[in-house]
Chain A
């Protein structure tokens, strides 16, 4: 557990650097979390991050990789609707790395 501060807002992260409380999230904190992953954020990254947050708000879980690729494909064009595109954006894996930046809890289990 660690306390961090970005632009005057303090928030807590867990042992692995995931945001402890999802309601603390804002774009500055997202950018900060991306920095901890050494990942410069582009507009394409934000498209994915925003989709993850929308999905989470509805279902209280991150989308399955398949759901994510399909949704991204629908929204941004079929050439982006594949896991290769997502892995290029988030080299450590969209499920874990993109979730971290979006402030979502880490997906657990046999994945």
Chain B
């Protein structure tokens, strides 16, 4: 896109703490949601004309959030500024802006919290680092709460377990609630409500795309593999990010899911109503939106009468499904309304509900229900990038760490050549791709390129050292982000792909 040329920061010889460059990212703000976008979500369309009204609304909302979320109050109170988080953030490492240190990002809100919600801050603001909420402070929130990908790497290192992502979510919630929402996320949420998915892909287009896909797969394999939509009474409902229908390399994993279902002989369907696994309601920290988006999946499951719900390769969708569906919609267990009860009796509880597509595939592999020609992947030397929301916000399988082991076990089952990236940058300490949490937009490209630095450094080590040429992930955002930023660091964008893309290459489909 036309605009200033963005340059990737240089690789560091050693991963040392970068020198601070105060204000280096102060000028980068994503586009603000326009009236139409805000209105569609029931948010005020603009900031109030009178600053005092906005000021009062923010403080009132902050009081509401502090009352509703005990966690937020604990995070506001508990930080002792020990500094353990400072150099753990990929955005601080890549941008060198001290306000992108997690502790500093939180303090943008903490200072206001102290002023209005603590006795010391009310009486002696200057002594306790408390400050008034001004228009400048609000703009600063908008800037820096959109330079966080809510990846929670800093939280892993925090001795108090403060979850910076929740502070960012609260910041965005406060902003949107007074008419200062982000265009990218809010426009997408509007499309989910109106059309059914983040892309805005209407039912007929989805049908047409899937038909074309069936033809392509038939051409490649000689076999009729189905990519079914809205099939009543199917065993499995697959809910996957809409990028899987549209973008490269995402669609290669969708092809892979279909081959797995085919080879295992399990009937499945996708849904035009729930044609999106992603849930940007989490990114903007809005519980009502989070719930409303999640409810579509429950409605689709009830309508189609499926026995199992499986979630495709989407990082934050899996966090929402694994960690929040329970209480949001009763798809898991625990909800007590009549529809949740109906859904519970409909689902087959011999299986995990919901299951991740990797759990689903791994289960079939272990039972010997599907098999592979591993040599088909011999042209690839593979490494696996753990996606934040899977790594730090969910689990898979029956054992701790299953979310790390199951995708790797699948790769080992379908390919011969596998390399790990440097310890301390994988598993729960994985670095964000640089595009998660609602920042995967062109207007934040500078942030995305710079924030990718630490991950790119570890990729460079395995590319130079072991000849890695395939970066496997299980997240649509990671796939899109890497496709765009890899070339800035001298890598081919074609090296990024999905775990089920590898499955797709090697799976035995029977006689041609």
Which B positions have Cβ atoms within 8 angstroms of A?
Answer: 1-2, 31, 34, 183-184, 187-188, 191, 197-202, 204-205, 208-209, 212-213, 216, 241-243, 245-248, 250-251, 278, 314, 440, 442-443, 476-477, 479-480
Separation of A65 and B278 alpha carbons in the complex (Å): 20
User: A64-B209, A70-B212, A109-B197 given. 6 additional CB < 8 A pairs?
Assistant: A63-B209, A64-B251, A66-B213, A66-B251, A110-B243, A110-B479
Q: Which listed residue (B199, B204, B209) contacts A109, Cβ 8 A?
A: B199
Q: Are B184 and A67 within 8 A (Cβ)?
A: no
Q: Are A110 and B1 within 8 A (Cβ)?
A: no
Q: Does A3 contact B (CB under 8 A)?
A: no
- Give the 4 A-B residue pairs with the shortest CB-CB distance, closest first: A109-B198, A110-B476, A59-B205, A111-B247
Q: Are B183 and A15 within 8 A (Cβ)?
A: yes
Q: Are B246 and A37 within 8 A (Cβ)?
A: no
Kindly report which residue of chain A lies nearest to residue B185, judged by CB atoms.
A108
In the complex, 9 of the A-B residue pairs with CB atoms within 8 angstroms, ordered by the A residue number, are A1-B34, A61-B201, A65-B248, A66-B251, A95-B246, A107-B246, A108-B198, A111-B243, A111-B480
Q: Are B216 and A111 within 8 A (Cβ)?
A: no
Task: Render A57-95 as a binary contact track against B, CB cut-off 8 A, 1 for contact.
Answer: 001110111110010000000000001000000001001
Q: How far is the CB of A35 from chain B (nearest CB, A)?
A: 10
Q: How far is the CB of B307 from chain A (nearest CB, A)?
A: 28
B204 contacts which chain A residues (CB < 8 A)?
Answer: 59
Given the known inter-chain contacts A37-B2, A38-B2, A67-B212, please indicate yes or no for A110 contacting B202, CB distance below 8 A. Answer: no
Q: Does A36 contact B (CB under 8 A)?
A: yes
Q: How many residues of A contact B (CB 8 A)?
A: 28
A107 contacts which chain B residues (CB < 8 A)?
Answer: 199-200, 246
Q: Are A61 and B248 within 8 A (Cβ)?
A: no
Q: Which listed residue (A36, A70, A83, A111) contacts B199, Cβ 8 A?
A: A111
Q: Are A36 and B2 within 8 A (Cβ)?
A: yes
Q: Does A5 contact B (CB under 8 A)?
A: no
Q: Are A110 and B31 within 8 A (Cβ)?
A: no
Q: Are B1 and A83 within 8 A (Cβ)?
A: no
Kindly report which residue of chain B lies nearest to residue A59, judged by CB atoms.
B205
Kindly report which residue of chain B lies nearest to residue A71, judged by CB atoms.
B212
Given the known inter-chain contacts A110-B480, A111-B480, please indicate yes or no for A61 contacting B199, CB distance below 8 A. Answer: yes
A37 contacts which chain B residues (CB < 8 A)?
Answer: 1-2
Kindly report which residue of chain A lies nearest to residue B183, judged by CB atoms.
A15
A43 contacts which chain B residues (CB < 8 A)?
Answer: none
Separation of A95 and B246 alpha carbons in the complex (Å): 9
Q: Are B212 and A108 within 8 A (Cβ)?
A: no
Q: How far is the CB of A32 from chain B (nearest CB, A)?
A: 13
Separation of A97 and B251 alpha carbons in the complex (Å): 20
B31 contacts which chain A residues (CB < 8 A)?
Answer: 15-16
Q: Are B247 and A60 within 8 A (Cβ)?
A: no
Q: Which listed residue (B191, B213, B477) contacts A110, Cβ 8 A?
A: B477
Given the known inter-chain contacts A38-B2, A70-B212, A70-B216, please indicate yes or no for A108 contacting B202, CB distance below 8 A. Answer: no
Q: Are B251 and A108 within 8 A (Cβ)?
A: no
Q: How far is the CB of A75 from chain B (nearest CB, A)?
A: 14
Among B202, B208, B477, which residue has the most Cβ atoms of chain A within 10 A? B208
Among A38, A59, A70, A105, which residue has the most Cβ atoms of chain B within 10 A? A59
Q: Are B212 and A61 within 8 A (Cβ)?
A: no
Q: How far is the CB of B452 from chain A (nearest CB, A)?
A: 16
Q: Which of A34-52 touch B at CB < 8 Å?
A: 36-38
Separation of A38 and B248 alpha carbons in the complex (Å): 25
Q: How far is the CB of A30 from chain B (nearest CB, A)?
A: 16
B183 contacts which chain A residues (CB < 8 A)?
Answer: 15
Separation of A44 and B314 alpha carbons in the complex (Å): 36
A63 contacts which chain B residues (CB < 8 A)?
Answer: 205, 209
Q: Are B1 and A111 within 8 A (Cβ)?
A: no
Q: Are B245 and A64 within 8 A (Cβ)?
A: yes
Separation of A64 and B209 alpha carbons in the complex (Å): 7
Kindly report which residue of chain B lies nearest to residue A64, judged by CB atoms.
B246
Q: Are A16 and B248 within 8 A (Cβ)?
A: no
Given the known inter-chain contacts A95-B247, A108-B188, A109-B278, please indicate yes or no for A67 contacting B209, CB distance below 8 A. Answer: yes
Q: Which listed residue (A1, A14, A105, A111) contacts B246, Cβ 8 A?
A: A111
Kindly report which residue of chain B lies nearest to residue A70, judged by CB atoms.
B212
Q: How far is the CB of A36 from chain B (nearest CB, A)?
A: 6
Q: How far is the CB of A37 from chain B (nearest CB, A)?
A: 6
Q: How far is the CB of A58 from chain B (nearest CB, A)?
A: 8
Q: How far is the CB of A46 from chain B (nearest CB, A)?
A: 20
Q: Are B212 and A109 within 8 A (Cβ)?
A: no
Q: How far is the CB of A33 from chain B (nearest CB, A)?
A: 11
Separation of A109 and B183 alpha carbons in the complex (Å): 12
B242 contacts which chain A residues (CB < 8 A)?
Answer: 109-110
Q: Are B246 and A65 within 8 A (Cβ)?
A: yes
Separation of A105 and B199 alpha carbons in the complex (Å): 11
B247 contacts which chain A residues (CB < 8 A)?
Answer: 64-65, 95, 110-111
Q: Which listed residue (A36, A67, A92, A109) contacts B208, Cβ 8 A?
A: A67
Kindly report which residue of chain A lies nearest to residue B442, judged by CB atoms.
A16
Separation of A63 and B200 alpha carbons in the complex (Å): 11
Separation of A105 and B443 alpha carbons in the complex (Å): 16
Q: Are A109 and B2 within 8 A (Cβ)?
A: no
Separation of A84 and B31 alpha carbons in the complex (Å): 31
Q: Are B188 and A109 within 8 A (Cβ)?
A: yes
Q: Are B241 and A110 within 8 A (Cβ)?
A: yes
Kindly report which residue of chain A lies nearest to residue B244, judged by CB atoms.
A110
Kindly report which residue of chain B lies nearest to residue A35, judged by CB atoms.
B2
B209 contacts which chain A residues (CB < 8 A)?
Answer: 63-64, 66-67
B246 contacts which chain A residues (CB < 8 A)?
Answer: 64-65, 95, 107, 109, 111
Separation of A37 and B246 alpha carbons in the complex (Å): 23
A15 contacts which chain B residues (CB < 8 A)?
Answer: 31, 34, 183, 443
